[in-house]
């Protein structure tokens, strides 16, 4: 079982390094986005705040580019082509299959982005990264992204194409990626408390920046996992009734 799991992880990593053009274009997009929002915050709030926000955005963007975003497209394609049921024949659970496939790709992306991340923190902000809290923050970020994207992907069984739902959720998450929750006006914070961005994006980044574990992020991750298992069981029942 361990060898099969390791094979899936290694396969995902190889796929990433075979598409280096996409990886380098992502790095270019990341740097360009960081510069835009750094100068925007600099003009609005001054250098001190801009540097704090830059540190936050560096983390959230690296976590985003290292997240398993393609899982929604993958589930949609497999269900629409009628091959999703083939995953039931494998000895590993469906939830774990997608997780291991995307874990290798995410780790490969993060290993490249980490060098950029560390360099930006050290040279632009003057801070070093605590590797322990970076690992914790990345792990919670990856799992939270994975669970919410897996849930979105499974909605293809009910709505035929869950891509529009992914688009909406990704834009809500983008707000949290670019604006730290504590800088949102207080009368709007109650609204953002109800959105997934605070728990999937904000807390994992703040774990790295503050060296403090936020229980809210861990609990939210557990809730998403339980939601995954419930929706997956319903989807498999629908698959059994209507076929692949």
Instruction: Grade residue 244 by pLDDT with cuts at 50, 70 and 90.
Output: very low
What average pLDDT does range 92-96 have in this prediction?
87
Instruction: Identify the residue whose tokens are 């925007």.
Output: 40
The range of the structural domain enclosing residue 64 comes to 2-242
Q: DSSP letter at 183? A: G
Phi, psi of 146 (to 5 degrees): -60, -50
How many domains are there within the chain? 1
Alpha helices in the chain (DSSP H): 2-18, 20-45, 47-65, 71-81, 94-120, 131-154, 156-159, 163-178, 186-193, 197, 203-210, 215-242
Please, what is the end-to-end C-alpha distance for the chain in angstroms?
26
Closest C-alpha among 108, 152, 147, 122 to residue 225: 147
pTM to 2 decimals?
0.84
pLDDT over 60 (residue 71)? yes
pLDDT given at position 153: 93
pLDDT over 50 (residue 65)? yes
Percentage of residues in the chain having pLDDT higher than 70: 84
Q: Of 39-43, 80-84, 188-192, 240-244, give the lowest mean pLDDT range.
A: 240-244
Closest C-alpha among 136, 146, 214, 204 to residue 176: 204
* pLDDT tens track for 129-167: 788 898 899 999 999 999 999 999 999 999 889 999 999
- Residue of 118 and 180 predicted with greater confidence: 180
pLDDT given at position 241: 47
Closest C-alpha among 235, 239, 76 to residue 149: 76
pLDDT given at position 41: 77
pLDDT given at position 10: 55
Closest C-alpha among 23, 67, 33 to residue 204: 67
pLDDT over 50 (residue 242)? no
CA atoms within 13 A on the CB side of 112: 21
pLDDT over 70 (residue 20)? no
pLDDT given at position 103: 84
One DSSP character per residue, 10-78 reads HHHHHHHHHTHHHHHHHHHHHHHHHHHHHHHHHHHH-HHHHHHHHHHHHHHHHHHHTS-TTHHHHHHHH
* pLDDT tens track for 174-198: 889 988 888 888 888 888 888 889 9
């Amino acid at each position: 079982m361990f060898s099969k799991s390791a094979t899936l992880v290694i396969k995902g990593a190889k796929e990433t390094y075979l598409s280096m053009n996409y990886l380098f274009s992502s790095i270019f997009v990341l740097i360009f986005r960081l510069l835009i929002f750094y100068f925007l915050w600099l003009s609005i709030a001054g250098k001190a705040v801009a540097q704090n926000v830059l540190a936050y955005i560096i983390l959230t963007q690296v976590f985003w580019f290292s997240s398993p975003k393609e899982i929604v497209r993958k589930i949609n394609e497999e269900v629409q082509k009628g091959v999703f049921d083939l995953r039931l024949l494998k000895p590993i659970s469906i939830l774990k299959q997608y997780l291991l496939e995307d874990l290798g790709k995410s780790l490969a992306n993060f290993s490249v982005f980490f060098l950029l991340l560390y360099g930006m923190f050290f040279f632009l902000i003057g801070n070093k990264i605590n590797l322990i809290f970076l690992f914790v923050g990345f792990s919670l970020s990856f799992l939270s992204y994975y669970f919410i994207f897996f849930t979105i992907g499974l909605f293809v069984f009910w709505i035929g194409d869950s891509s529009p739902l992914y688009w909406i959720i990704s834009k809500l998450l983008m707000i949290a990626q670019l604006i730290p929750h504590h800088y949102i006006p207080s009368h709007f914070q109650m609204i953002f408390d109800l959105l997934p961005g605070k728990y999937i994006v904000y807390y994992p980044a703040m774990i790295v920046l503050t060296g403090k574990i936020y229980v809210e992020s861990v609990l939210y991750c557990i809730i998403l996992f339980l939601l995954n298992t419930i929706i997956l069981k319903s989807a498999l029942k629908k698959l059994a009734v209507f076929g692949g």
